[in-house]
Chains A and B, each alone.
Chain A
Amino acid sequence: MRPHVFAFKAALKTSLPVFFGYISIGFAFGFLLVKSGFHWLWAPLMCLVIFAGAAQFMAIGMLLQHKSPWEMGLAILLLNARHMVYGFSLLDRYSRFRRFKAYLIFGLTDETYGLLTTIDPPEGADPERFDFYVTALNHSYWTLGSTLGALTGSLISWNAPGIEFSMTALFTVLLVEQIRALKRPGPFLLALGVCMVLYFLGLQQHALLLGIIISAMGCFFLKREEPA
């Protein structure tokens, strides 16, 4: 077997769990985007150039609220701040790469990071090529899923009131995962308090942006205490 084919097959097998997740969540994203009144073509475009799950869901809401591009960029910057952590832990691994390095950094989603840091490239496969195939396959699943969802949404006239709750549900799932991973209440209570104060002050309109900024800054002042 040629080495390229070998690396591709190994990447295909490795990325299979992400296939199911990306196809279905991508489908939900595309469907929601179209049901929010946007053309189905925006779905594949957003998936190709942004390629970030939670951020794209949040983008639908912000586009509907006609937030300024500046505000959207900043909100996504803070939402995706977690990706900086990923980068820090991959500095070493990617430092040896040349050809696909830029694309690997672009495609560093939560799931790609999870796969690449959990599963080692198989013996005999070029690590850079393997990492590239895993990232590109994930990217294609995500784009495919959202395109299918968007087309389905524009073909069927059934309007599903309440479907937008799937965004809140996704964030809730991620929140539960974060609570489980961090094992300390500080950041969560801090953010909850910040949100409540913002709503109490009547700043609902800016709660997303202000909430993320204030909570993120607050995290730097939380007591240093590593989870056991």
Chain B
Amino acid sequence: MSYIFISIFAMALATLFTRAFPFMLFSKRRPPKELIRSARLIPGAVMVVLVFTSLPMDLDIQSPEVWVPWLSVAVVAFLHLLFKHPLLSIFGGTAFYMFLIRLTAVTV
């Protein structure tokens, strides 16, 4: 209980810090171009890490179907490139994944 409270507080503080940082740092002077340029690249790299680490990798312990999450990620990306509709891509890809794990679970 208190663990969740403290964790939420830490995450709220961290989020607020990222949003307030530029205003605290550059309340008087202009930010250097180099910093803005590099900061712009970070989200892309972070997304790769997030996709990679959020993949249900422990799947291969129960079944041999390691390709299921990877294929589902490809489906999400494909749907998104095709329709450019975030909700459709997320729900479509998740439904596809849920269908596949049911299908492959039969073989376990």
Within 8 A of A (CB), among B44-98: 44-57, 69, 72-73, 76-77, 80-81, 86-87, 89-91, 93-94, 97-98
Known: A77-B14, A167-B54, A173-B80. A178 touches B43 (CB 8 A): yes
Contact of B72 among A66, A165, A187, A204 (CB under 8 A): A165
State whether B44 touches A182 (Cβ < 8 A).
Answer: yes
The distance from the CB of A53 to the nearest CB of chain B, in whole angstroms, is: 11
Cβ of A58 within 8 Å of any chain B Cβ, yes or no, is: yes
Q: Mark A58-88, 1 if CB is under 8 A from B, else 0.
A: 1101110010011011101111111111111
Size of interface on A: residues with Cβ below 8 Å to B: 88
Nearest A residue to B52 via CB reads: A195
State whether A21 touches B86 (Cβ < 8 A).
Answer: yes
Size of interface on B: residues with Cβ below 8 Å to A: 64
State whether A82 touches B39 (Cβ < 8 A).
Answer: yes
Which residues on B sit within 8 Å (CB–CB) of A218? 45
Within 8 A of A (CB), among B1-41: 3-4, 6-23, 26, 31, 34-41
Which residues on B sit within 8 Å (CB–CB) of A81? 18, 39, 42-43, 46
State whether B19 touches A165 (Cβ < 8 A).
Answer: no
State whether A170 touches B19 (Cβ < 8 A).
Answer: no
Within 8 A of B (CB), among A23-52: 24-25, 28, 38, 42, 45-46, 49-52
Complex CA gap A59/B41 in Å reads 23
Q: Mark A171-193, 1 if CB is under 8 A from B, else 0.
A: 11111111101100011101110
Complex CA gap A167/B56 in Å reads 11
Spell out B's residues near A (CB within 8 Å). 3-4, 6-23, 26, 31, 34-57, 69, 72-73, 76-77, 80-81, 86-87, 89-91, 93-94, 97-98, 101-102
Nearest 9 interchain pairs by C-beta? A87-B22, A191-B48, A162-B98, A73-B10, A211-B49, A178-B44, A215-B45, A191-B45, A175-B47
